[in-house]
Every structure is written in C-alpha cells, then in structure tokens.
Amino acid sequence: MLDHTPDIAAEQNPPSQEALRVGELLKQVADPKRGGLAQENLVRTLREHSRASDRLGESVAVPGTLYSKTAENCLQDWNRTVTFLSAISSAVQTLAQRKSEGPLYAVDAGCGPFALLSLALALENDRIQVLAIEGNPASVERATTLVNNLGLSDRIHIILEDCTTCELPCAPDLLVTETFDNGLLKEQGVQILDNLAPQVGPRAAILPCEVSVECSLSSMSLPEAHMALGDIYRGCWNGDESKAVNEPLIAAGLLRGLYHLQLESSYHFPCGGALTSKIGSAISLKETMAVFRVLEDGASITVSHPPGEPYVYLESSPRGAVEVVHFIHCKTPRV
C-alpha cells in the first residue's frame, strides 16, 4: 500500500499568480478564438517551470510508461486534452455539490512530466487534494519541479509508483487516467483501471469510464470496399461493476488484393453532470496497423489483441494465404 496520504492543510495556501495564470490558460485552450494562443502559452509555461536537473535522462525505459519527452508531446493532442479538461471540470463541479464539506480526493494515474490533469483538478476547486502517480522517474522529477515552482505542492502530491499494482491510501472521489495510447498498444490504461477502479469511493467519478477499440479492413484494390469487424476490445469501469469484452475477430471470404488493417480507439466519459454509466463525449483515434496482401480468393483472417501487448496478431486461413507488406505493431502468425 502507498504510504502517502494527501495532507489537508488547516489553511491551504492560495495559488500563486503563475498557477492562476495556468488555470486561466487551461480554461482558454478550447476557445475558438483564443485557443491557439492559449495552447502555445500553456506549453511554454509548463516547459519553463518543469525544467529539472534531468540527471536520469531519457535512457530510463519503464515498461508500460512513455518516455518523458514522448509524454510531453502528448499534451499537444489538443482534441484529447480539451476533452479530458472538460470532463474534469464537469465531474469536479458535480462532486463538490454532492459532497459539500471536507476535502475532495482525486487520483491522477500516470500524470506524466506536466501533470496537466493534476493541475486542472487542483485549480478547479480549492478543496481538491490530488495524488498524482507516475511510473517513470524522469517524468516524476519534472512534474515535481513544476508543481513546486507553481506553489501547488500542498494540493498535488506526486508519487513514483506502478499504477497497475499499487494500493491507494484512501478511496478517491475521482479517478482520472490519460494513459491510452492508440489501440491500447503501448501504455497500460486498461491494467491501470482494472487495478484502481475497484479502489474508488462510493459514487466516485472515473474518467474515462469506457474504452473501446474497433477493428476494420479497407481494400486498396477496391476503394469502395470497407469492412467493420467490430470491437476487438471494450472495457467499462464503474467500481465493482467493471467488465470487459476481448475476443478475436474474423473476416471471411476475402478477395485477393491489398488491405489496410485499422484500429480506432474511443475513450468515453460520463454524460454531463449525472456521473452515471450513460456515455457522453468521446475521443477517437484511428491508425493503420498493417498493410497486407491476400494471395487467394476466399481466405479468412483472424485478428486478436490482448490489451497491453504491443502487437495486434493477424492469422490467416489457410495458413500462408496472407502476406504482410507493411506493419506497425502487428505480428503474423501468432506464436
């Protein structure tokens, strides 16, 4: 179990002027007119205040986490960032109304070098206490420097720990994790939620509350031919009612020619202020995993993907009926 319980100061220090500026920029990044400039200023500010000694360097590779520099670049996927910020704002407002007194405990699992979601949580409501958990030492060093420089160390507590196995010191009111690389291939968002979702408090908010990965084929020989195979993975987390579906998909009767194998990941959030299982806004990311050639008419392929493994497995029937021309995170045949 983690030995760090967030401290609740009797009189919590007000945010510094620089922290308040970050809070204003976070609210502006979605603005159609001011968003572009706000995004640039936010990235610049976070980089300036997170400069650490970097004695660990980027040579530290921790399984299931991103390099600190790679995680930094993820911030600039603004569609995803803005959706998470909006979901956090809605969830905190609802939780604050529901729990009118005392601290609101939040966990940011996989906070990265900028701890952006932790900052958004801490600046959304003065009662928020954030436990930010990160498995990459270089990212922990940078995030700690950032939080200290912004004067928010009494609200955000950063821990170096494995999010897939750790036990929380208390049941949080809100759990958020932005650890879903496209196709669930690199980061371990599924394993993180499987571990932490059962540890949240009653009626807690979990962001995201559902993840799905849809698999599809498109023919390069027949441009009009597109085949949606269905969800290769779907997970839903609602405390003790969490469930997952993960089954291989089959495409039968394929004609000879070149095909794209694509995965589209969607991350769903609770709808509005209800914080129920009803699904609201979503983020979708689509990527080609492989280009392959079917060598004989009538061939079938089976696609499978255990979450957390860095590969999609592609098998053909009859064996040898498919030739992979180009692949990204794809293997054939499965061993």
DSSP character string of 280-300: EEEEEEEEEEEEEEE-STTEE
We report the CATH number of the domain holding residue 82 as: 3.40.50.150
Dihedrals phi, psi of 79, to nearest 5 degrees? -60, -45
Q: Is 313 exposed, middle or buried (0-12, 13-18, 19+ CB in 10 A)?
A: middle
Mean pLDDT, the chain, whole residue set:
83
**pLDDT mean over 234-249:** 79
- Show which of 206, 239, 259 is a domain's final residue: 206
- Please state, in angstroms and rounded to a whole number, the distance separating the CA atoms of residues 199 and 55: 34
Q: Are residues 42 and 121 located together in one domain of the fold?
A: yes
Q: Are residues 112 and 122 located together in one domain of the fold?
A: yes
Residue 53, classed as helix, strand or coil, is coil
Those residues with Cβ within 8 angstroms of residue 50's Cβ, 6 or more apart along the chain or in another chain: 113, 114, 142, 143, 145, 146, 149
Q: How many CA atoms lie within 13 A of 207 on its CB side?
A: 34
Q: Are residues 28 and 166 located together in one domain of the fold?
A: yes
Q: Are residues 290 and 202 located together in one domain of the fold?
A: no
CB 85 within 8 A of CB 44: no
pLDDT for 52? 58
Domain span at residue 292 reads 208-335
Q: Are residues 56 and 94 located together in one domain of the fold?
A: yes
Q: Are residues 155 and 186 located together in one domain of the fold?
A: yes
Q: Are residues 112 and 131 located together in one domain of the fold?
A: yes
**pLDDT mean over 230-238:** 86
Q: At what angle do helices 116-124 and 137-149 cross, to 10 degrees?
A: 30
pLDDT for 59? 46
Structure-block tokens of residue 271: 């709808």
Q: Are residues 191 and 218 located together in one domain of the fold?
A: no
How many angstroms from the chain centroid is the CA of residue 249? 24
Q: Is 9 exposed, middle or buried (0-12, 13-18, 19+ CB in 10 A)?
A: exposed
- How do residues 153-208 score in pLDDT, each as one tens digit? 999 999 999 999 999 999 999 999 998 876 676 678 888 999 999 999 888 999 99
CB 120 within 8 A of CB 88: yes
How many structural domains comprise the chain? 2
For the chain, give the percent of residues with pLDDT over 90.
44
- How do residues 250-302 score in pLDDT, each as one tens digit? 999 999 999 998 888 888 887 544 444 444 556 667 778 888 999 999 999 99
Of the two residues 109 and 287, the one the predictor is more confident about is 109
- Show which of 167, 188, 206 is a domain's final residue: 206
- Show which of 206, 233, 261 is a domain's final residue: 206
Query: pTM of the full predicted structure?
Result: 0.85
Q: Are residues 46 and 191 located together in one domain of the fold?
A: yes
Q: Are residues 199 and 213 located together in one domain of the fold?
A: no
3 band by pLDDT with thresholds 50, 70 and 90: low
pLDDT for 6? 56
- Residue 47 scores a pLDDT above 70: yes
Q: How many CA atoms lie within 13 A of 108 on its CB side?
A: 30
Q: Are residues 229 and 144 located together in one domain of the fold?
A: no
3-state helix, strand, coil in the chain (%, to 5): 30, 30, 40
Q: Are residues 189 and 218 located together in one domain of the fold?
A: no
